[in-house]
Structure formats: structure tokens, C-alpha cells
């Protein structure tokens, strides 16, 4: 009883074609997401507009800027808070930080 082997060769797909198809699918997916987000945004604006009308906003006079001495009664507490926050962010000890000046921005 003779045995026959069947050799099936898959067609060779070029690398550039695989890359182009992958990038095309990604861009089509992104475009679909953009369209979906725009549609949902318009639907939510329409739904929010039907629910309630915006309340009128009362305008108040802008507060007058006070001198730094009036705003910060205890400057030592401010320096301690700033140095503790910096030490936590930098991952160092508070004694390793030297604050030269603090200016209001």
C-alpha cells in the first residue's frame, strides 16, 4: 500500500502588505472612534439642553489684592508646608532642602 504525501504550500504574503493592512485597520478603528465620540457628544449636548436651561450667573466685583503680609500671617508655616511637599515629591528628607525665597505668582 503506497503512501502519498501531500505537500501544500501556503502563498507567500509580502511583509509590506501585512504592515499596510495593520496600519489601515488601526486608522479605520481610530476614525470610527472619532466619529462615535462626536456623535455621542452631540447627543449629550442635546439631552442636556432639553433637561434644564442654564441659570443666570451673577457677577461679583473682583477682590482687591492684599499685601503679602496680610495674606500670609505665619510665614514659617508656609515654608514648612512647601518644604514638606517638596521633600515628599523629591523623595528626600526635609533637612536636605533649602528654600531661599518664596514669591507669589
pLDDT tens digits for range 4-38: 777 788 888 899 999 999 999 999 999 999 999 99
Whether 62 maps to a domain, the answer reads no
C-alpha cell at 51: 433637561
Whether 105 maps to a domain, the answer reads yes
Whether 80 maps to a domain, the answer reads yes
| Number of separate domains in the chain | 2
Tell me the C-alpha distance between 14 and 89, whole Å. Answer: 51
Whether 59 maps to a domain, the answer reads no
Whether 8 maps to a domain, the answer reads no
Whether 90 maps to a domain, the answer reads yes
Whether 84 maps to a domain, the answer reads yes
Whether 47 maps to a domain, the answer reads yes
Give pLDDT tens digits for 60-80: 655 555 555 555 668 888 888
Residue 45's domain comprises: 13-52
C-alpha cell at 89: 515629591
Amino acid at each position: 500500500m503506497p503512501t502519498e504525501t501531500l505537500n501544500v504550500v501556503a502563498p507567500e504574503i509580502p511583509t509590506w502588505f501585512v504592515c499596510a493592512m495593520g496600519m489601515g485597520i488601526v486608522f479605520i478603528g481610530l476614525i470610527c472612534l472619532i466619529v462615535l465620540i462626536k456623535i455621542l457628544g452631540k447627543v449629550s449636548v442635546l439631552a442636556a439642553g432639553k433637561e434644564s436651561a442654564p441659570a443666570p450667573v451673577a457677577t461679583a466685583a473682583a477682590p482687591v489684592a492684599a499685601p503679602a503680609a496680610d495674606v500670609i500671617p505665619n510665614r514659617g508655616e508656609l515654608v514648612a508646608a512647601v518644604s514638606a511637599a517638596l521633600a515628599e515629591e523629591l523623595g528626600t528628607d526635609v533637612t536636605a532642602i533649602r528654600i531661599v525665597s518664596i514669591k507669589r505668582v
